[in-house]
Structure formats: structure tokens, C-alpha cells
Amino acid sequence: MRWSNYYLFTTREVPKDAEVISHRLMIRAGMIKKLAAGIYTTLPFGSRSMTKLATIVRRELDAKNALELTMPTIQPAELWQESGRWQAYGKELLRVNDRNGREFCYAPTAEEVITDMVRKDIRSYKQLPVNLYQIQTKFRDEIRPRFGLMRGREFLMKDAYSFHADAESLDVTYRDMHDAYCAIFAACGLDYKVVEADTGNIGGSDSHEFMVLAQTGESDIVSCDCGYAANTEKAVTGALPAPEVELGEMEEVATPDQKSIAEVSQFLGKSADQFVKTLLYTSENEEVVVVCIRGDREINEIKLANALDVQYPVLATDAQVQEITGAPVGFAGPVGLKEARLIVDPSAAALESFVCGANKDDAHLVNVQWGRDVEKGEVIDLLLADAGDPCPRCGDTMQKTRGIETGHIFKLGCKYSEAMGCNFLDAEGRDEPMIMGCYGLGIGRTVAAAIEQNHDDDGIIWPKPLAPFTVLLMALDPQNEEVSAAADQLYGELQAKGIDVLYDDRKERPGVKFKDADLIGIPVRAVIGKRGLSDGKIEISERHDREKHLVDVGEALAKLVELAG
């Protein structure tokens, strides 16, 4: 491709709303352009990267016998009502009406449509398993789209769905997809981690996320050298080391205006890990739940939602706290709260003696003991895991890192097949719901993640497999006939070798071309200028180290082919 004929316009400045590096670089390098909040046009240069990733994805999935199809992006409401997600998905589901007023939605995912298709086509266990995928645009009306392609509303995703006669068959496909995803991310040259994950509103049992490690990621991961790794939404820990406490009789102490754990901790001279933090939650079913956790730790609200089997637990209002505890916010404790359901995290349950609110204005209780002074209630893990916590498998100290969720695989079980009557006849002639799995991979997000992980101050440093072009051929002074003749010839030869080459034949000054070259980050660069050419040399370098090698004109092609490989 000759740059002079191409649609690639770089910019020196970026819109002020672009904050993360991949977003800035994708705009500056002419890959994407914003149309509306979280909605982007992918320009030709960006499109090439996406296509390269899609090709890798297809190759690895096809190798696992997954079959590509294409489903509509506009889906009828009836299917979503059947699965129950027309209500459950909430505002993220973009709903539209056609000219007759019939309700549709723009697909955020395609479980309903694929399940509807399969229930109509497949009757027998002999036709199972099947694994079907598409690479198709999705729309999710996110609360807060941000970071360009990292969290867009409209985005390109590969989604796959498998159907099985039994759990063993699902296990095999799940493993296949796990391996395919590993192959895909490895092929892209990305530093990634597979972690245990919560299933969120997709539903189902077992689930893993593929995280590209980057500080700008929106997910927290804890991991251990032994191999355990999990999203903090899901992560469990070993028992926390118990703090040393003095034992004594329960006693009320005055703590005027000392509301937060930090304040009371300082006021009483006791560390925060000797406290029990008591929080009141409500949810859509309006039951108030009292939750206790150790004073220095945080509640994982995803775990709480799962424990309560609700969608969104929310903290009780100040008025509700006043009504139930009889005290303003800041003085809640488990002692004497008989009316409400009490859930205690193991971190709090393990305390031999602790400090908590007295359910009375300006007062706390010290030396409280479970069993003696207050019933323990249900002990359920609600802890938000953090760096330094013990690994649940081996007990070693875990680390915390951040990652970008680029892939997510689920064992769905029968959630959709039961709701939608997607059944088959087994060998005994019994009607059974199919067991399902689903597997997502964000195409645009993975490309953004690749940039997040591979760049420097001057621009993108593409991993070769995702690079829009493999070789950038620069003619420094295309007006000079010798230079342009040599460059034209090399360009033709590279094309003949099947190499993706971008030929910078623009009539720009050298400085502009070098800056652009660094910005767009093509892995291999060949520079032809009259200075080198007078000695019969072409300068070849790679973007990742920019080390310059002068190569004889006659050897340049072979060298470039070697580096491109």
C-alpha cells in the first residue's frame, strides 16, 4: 500500500477527553474516530489490526471444530422475555421499536438467538455436541463508556456457544476453548493471565477470564505463585492471620463523634483489625441484612449479591440504619440486632474478641465475644481479597495486579435451555435440556490491550501478528529519482513476497516521516535516502529497539523477509 493513496492521517494533538494511552495512540495513529460516547468508527488502518486478530481467532477456533455463523444484531423481545433477561438485563439493553411498534433489542450477546436456533434444529443426542461462533458487533448501553475501545458501547466481539448432551462433553469443549484462547493470546504476543471469575448476569456455574496484564486495566486480580489466580470479584483467601487481642468483659465505652473505624481505632488505641465493621444492606426484595466484616477489610458486594441471590445489594439509607440500630450511621454493631438476618464474614467470625458499634449514639462496645455476648449468625465468605492475603490453595502470600478482561468463558449449564425449552432426546428416549457453554473474546478490546502493553513515548510498538502492516518502507526524498526508483523496486519485491508493506512515498520532510513511523509502530522499517543510497546501503531497523542496520541494497529484500517472518 502506498501511503500517498491510503486513508491514514496521523495527528500531533489528541482530543482532551482521551486519557489512557491506547485510546490516545489509536486516535493519533488514525485507527479510530469517535462518533458518539462509546461509539467509534474503525478506520482502514485500525481495521487491518482487527482483521488480523479475527484471522487468528478463526484459525484457533476452527482448529477446535467450532463453526462460524452470523446472527442478527437486532433481536426480537419475545426471545429475551422467554429467558427472563428482558427484565433482568436492565438499562444496558438497548431497546428499539420497529414501524409497527414491535419491540426489539440490539444484541449485547446472543444466547437467546442461538438457543432458539438450536432448539429448532437439533432433536437427538446424536447431533451433539455443537460449538458455534460469530464475530459480530454488540451493543451494551454502559453506565460510563470510557477509554476508547476498552469500554465502548458498540464493540466487536467474538462470541461462541456450545451445546451438549452431558457435563463431560461440556468439560471437553470448555477445555478446548480455554486452550484456544491461550493459543490466541500467546499468538498475539500478549502477557496474559487466566483467572477464576464471577459469572455476572450471563449466569452459569464455572467461569474463567483472560486478563491482559496492564495498569490501566479495570479489573483487579489476585494471584499466587502456586498457580491460583482470580478476579477479586470472585477470589477467595485462606484464613487471615488473627490479630492478638486481650480478653475481658464486654463493656460500653463513650466514643463521642467517633464514627469511622479509623477514628475509633485511633481514639481507643486499638488497631482496625480488632474491630468488627457492621454494614446494613437492602436489595430489590427489601429485606434488610446485617453484614459483619473485620474492621480493616472491605465487603465484596458481588459475593454478597450471590449469597443473597439478589441482583444489586445496596447500603441501607441513613434512615433505615437509624430505624434498625436505633443509632445514627457509624455506631452499628451485631449485639442486640435480633430482628434482622446476620451474615458474618470469616475474617470477623475468627476474632476472639472485638470492638463494635453499640447501636447507640456516640458509643462502642469493647471486648465483645461471639457466643458469649452475641450469636454469630451465618458465616459466609464476603471478603474482598487484597494483596498480601494468604492463597486459598497453598497459604502463600498473594499478589494483586490489574488486568484488561479480553476473554471470558462460562459453563452456562441449563439456564437458557431450560428457560427456552432447548431439549434433545437422549439414548433412552428421554427429553432433556441441553447443557451449554459460552465463550466471549473482545476483538477491539484485545487490540487496545495490545497497545496498552506495547508502546513507548513515541507511539505504538505492534506485536507482529497484530500489526496493520509488517514492513514500513520509507522513501526519504521521493522527488529524487534514484531514491524513488530504488524504493519502488523494493516495494514491488516485498509485495511479490506477500509481505504486508506500507510504502511511505509521501512528499513530506524526513522528520515528519520518522515521527509518523514511530507513532504508527510498524514492526520493521526500511529507510531509503540518497545519503545511504550513494554508498549502496539501505537502513533497516525494528520498531522495538530502533537499532539501525545498514544493509547492501542487494541484500535488503532477504533481510526484510527474514525480519518480517
Site residues, RNA (CB under 7 A): 10-17, 19, 28, 34, 36-38, 143-147, 259-262, 277-280, 295, 298-299, 301, 315-316, 318, 321, 329-330, 332, 357, 458, 476-477, 479, 509-512, 514-519, 527-533, 539, 546, 548
Report the candidate in 60, 29, 320 with the shortest Cα–Cα distance to residue 210.
Answer: 60
| Cα 184 from Cα 229, distance rounded (Å) | 20
| Cα 41 from Cα 35, distance rounded (Å) | 7
Beta carbon of residue 14, minimum distance to RNA (angstroms, whole number):
6
Q: At what angle do helices 443-453 and 21-28 cross, to 10 degrees?
A: 100
If the CB atoms of residues 357 and 433 are measured against RNA, the closer one turns out to be 357
Beta carbon of residue 262, minimum distance to RNA (angstroms, whole number):
7
Beta carbon of residue 432, minimum distance to RNA (angstroms, whole number):
41
SS3 content of the chain, % helix, strand, coil (to 5): 30, 30, 40
Element (H, E) at 208: strand 207-213
Beta carbon of residue 491, minimum distance to RNA (angstroms, whole number):
16
If the CB atoms of residues 103 and 508 are measured against RNA, the closer one turns out to be 508
If the CB atoms of residues 314 and 394 are measured against RNA, the closer one turns out to be 314
| Torsion angle of the four alpha carbons 408, 411, 415, 418, in this order, in degrees rounded to the nearest 10 | 130
Beta carbon of residue 531, minimum distance to RNA (angstroms, whole number):
4
Beta carbon of residue 264, minimum distance to RNA (angstroms, whole number):
8
Element (H, E) at 170: helix 167-187
If the CB atoms of residues 51 and 484 are measured against RNA, the closer one turns out to be 484
Single-letter residue type at 337: L
Strand-pair partners of 399: 223
If the CB atoms of residues 421 and 510 are measured against RNA, the closer one turns out to be 510
Beta carbon of residue 358, minimum distance to RNA (angstroms, whole number):
12
- Dihedral sign computed on CA atoms, order 6, 10, 14, 19: positive
DSSP 457-469: TTEE---GGG-S-
Report the candidate in 314, 272, 269, 311 with the shortest Cα–Cα distance to residue 289.
Answer: 314
If the CB atoms of residues 145 and 413 are measured against RNA, the closer one turns out to be 145
| Torsion angle of the four alpha carbons 146, 150, 155, 161, in this order, in degrees rounded to the nearest 10 | -130
If the CB atoms of residues 152 and 440 are measured against RNA, the closer one turns out to be 152
Beta carbon of residue 479, minimum distance to RNA (angstroms, whole number):
6
If the CB atoms of residues 423 and 484 are measured against RNA, the closer one turns out to be 484
If the CB atoms of residues 176 and 516 are measured against RNA, the closer one turns out to be 516
| Cα 367 from Cα 268, distance rounded (Å) | 12
If the CB atoms of residues 193 and 546 are measured against RNA, the closer one turns out to be 546
Beta carbon of residue 510, minimum distance to RNA (angstroms, whole number):
3
How does 209-240 read in b/e, with b if 16+ C-beta sit within 10 Å? bbbbbbebbebbbbbbeeebbbbbbbbbbbeb
Beta carbon of residue 247, minimum distance to RNA (angstroms, whole number):
23
Beta carbon of residue 1, minimum distance to RNA (angstroms, whole number):
18
The runs of H, that is alpha helices, within 479-539 are 481-496, 510-520, 530-533
Element (H, E) at 56: helix 44-63
If the CB atoms of residues 178 and 259 are measured against RNA, the closer one turns out to be 259
| Cα 384 from Cα 231, distance rounded (Å) | 10
| Cα 437 from Cα 64, distance rounded (Å) | 14
What is each CA distance from 13 to 20, 294, 447, in whole angstroms? 14, 49, 22
Beta carbon of residue 17, minimum distance to RNA (angstroms, whole number):
4
Beta carbon of residue 275, minimum distance to RNA (angstroms, whole number):
7
DSSP 465-489: GG-S-SEEEEES-TTSHHHHHHHHH
CB-based contact 389:240 (threshold 8 Å): yes
Q: Is 372 exposed, middle or buried (0-12, 13-18, 19+ CB in 10 A)?
A: exposed
If the CB atoms of residues 60 and 518 are measured against RNA, the closer one turns out to be 518
Q: At what angle do helices 481-496 and 553-564 cross, to 10 degrees?
A: 40
Secondary structure of residue 319 in the 3-state scheme: helix
If the CB atoms of residues 475 and 499 are measured against RNA, the closer one turns out to be 475
- Dihedral sign computed on CA atoms, order 551, 490, 55, 460: positive
